[in-house]
């Protein structure tokens, strides 16, 4: 059982790796990520913005000029680079966690948090802006539904899952912090138990 003292402590001093937000477009990874980083006093990185900076053009331009495969290659390289820095909060693009190599790098060097949202929430959010290359290939609702079917089982492999809704992002941030405390406390207790058994 996890003690109250463990639950109430600040997670930053025991955080030895980055917090990586994963999930579908519209889940709020960037908006929540910025607030989470501020809440924890950590640096925030947006993988999509880092990719654009490295490529010198927008993601939409990368898709149109070079295709999705080239984008995923750049995405993989940028995320791998960011994961080897100091502990931080990283918001990833919706497809990043689908890449086995990226997923393995996140598992080794970060704590993954799946921001899970229902289809109506995602659809309402993504339709606010016209900058989603994947949604320009047909009906946005059908595309999102298909992506959820394909990707949710992979997102479910994340270390932590937090459901987001129509409420304020600050509430989601607190839910993430609470979930991270539980996750890290559980890991530490498992490690102690393993050490107590001689590492068997």
Domain presence at residue 192: no
In total, how many domains does the chain have? 1
Q: Is residue 31 part of a domain?
A: yes
102, 75 Cβ separation under 8 angstroms: yes
Q: Residue 5 falls within a domain, yes or no?
A: no
4 domain-assigned: no
Q: Check if the beta carbon of residue 40 is closer than 8 Å to that of residue 12.
A: yes
- The reply to whether 6 falls in a domain is no
pLDDT at residue 112 in the model: 97
Q: What percent of the chain has pLDDT over 90?
A: 48
**44 within 8 A of 33, measured Cβ to Cβ:** yes
pLDDT tens, position by position, 25-40: 889 999 999 999 999 9
Task: CATH number of the domain at 143, please.
Answer: 3.40.50.300
Give a yes or no: residue 27 inside a domain. yes
21 or 95: which leads in pLDDT: 21
Residue 119 lies in a domain: yes
Q: Tokens for 107?
A: 């598992």
The string of pLDDT tens digits covering residues 157-182 is 999 999 988 778 899 999 999 999 88
Range of the domain at 76: 17-182
Residue carrying structure tokens 């917090």: 19
pLDDT of residue 54: 87
pLDDT band with cut points at 50, 70 and 90 for residue 67? confident
Which has more pLDDT, 67 or 117? 117
Does position 63 have pLDDT exceeding 80, yes or no?
yes
Q: Which of these, 25, 46, 23, 49, lies nearest to 36 by C-alpha position?
A: 46
Among 29-33, 58-62, 77-81, 133-137, name the one with the lowest average pLDDT: 133-137
Choice between 12 and 134, residue whose per-residue pLDDT is larger: 134
For range 11-35, the mean pLDDT = 86
C-alpha 98/C-alpha 114 separation (Å) is 12
Spatial distance between the Cα atoms of 200 and 6, rounded to a whole number of angstroms:
25
Q: How far apart are CA 79 and CA 50, in angstroms?
A: 9
3-state secondary structure of 132: coil
Q: How much is the mean pLDDT over the chain?
A: 84
User: What's the rounded mean pLDDT across residues 86-114?
Assistant: 94
The predicted-structure confidence for 102-141, as pLDDT tens digits, reads as follows 999 999 999 999 999 999 998 888 887 766 666 667 788 8
Q: Is residue 66 part of a domain?
A: yes
């Amino acid at each position: 059982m996890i003690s109250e003292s463990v639950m109430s402590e600040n997670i930053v001093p025991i955080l030895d790796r980055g917090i990586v937000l994963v999930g579908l477009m519209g889940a709020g990874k960037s908006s929540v990520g910025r607030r989470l980083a501020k809440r924890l006093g950590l640096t925030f990185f947006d993988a999509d913005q880092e990719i654009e900076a490295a490529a010198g053009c927008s993601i939409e331009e990368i898709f149109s000029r070079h295709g999705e495969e080239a984008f995923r290659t750049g995405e993989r390289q940028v995320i791998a680079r960011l994961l080897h820095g100091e502990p931080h909060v990283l918001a990833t693009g919706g497809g990043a966690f689908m890449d086995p190599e990226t997923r393995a790098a996140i598992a080794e060097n970060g704590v993954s948090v799946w921001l899970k949202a229902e289809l109506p929430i995602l659809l309402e959010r993504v339709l606010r802006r016209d900058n989603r290359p994947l949604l320009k290939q047909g009906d946005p609702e059908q595309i999102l539904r298909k992506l959820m079917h394909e990707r949710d089982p992979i997102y479910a492999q994340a270390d932590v899952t937090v459901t987001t809704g129509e409420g304020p992002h600050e509430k989601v941030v607190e839910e993430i912090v609470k979930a991270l405390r539980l996750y890290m406390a559980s890991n530490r207790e498992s490690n102690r138990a393993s050490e107590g058994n001689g590492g068997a």
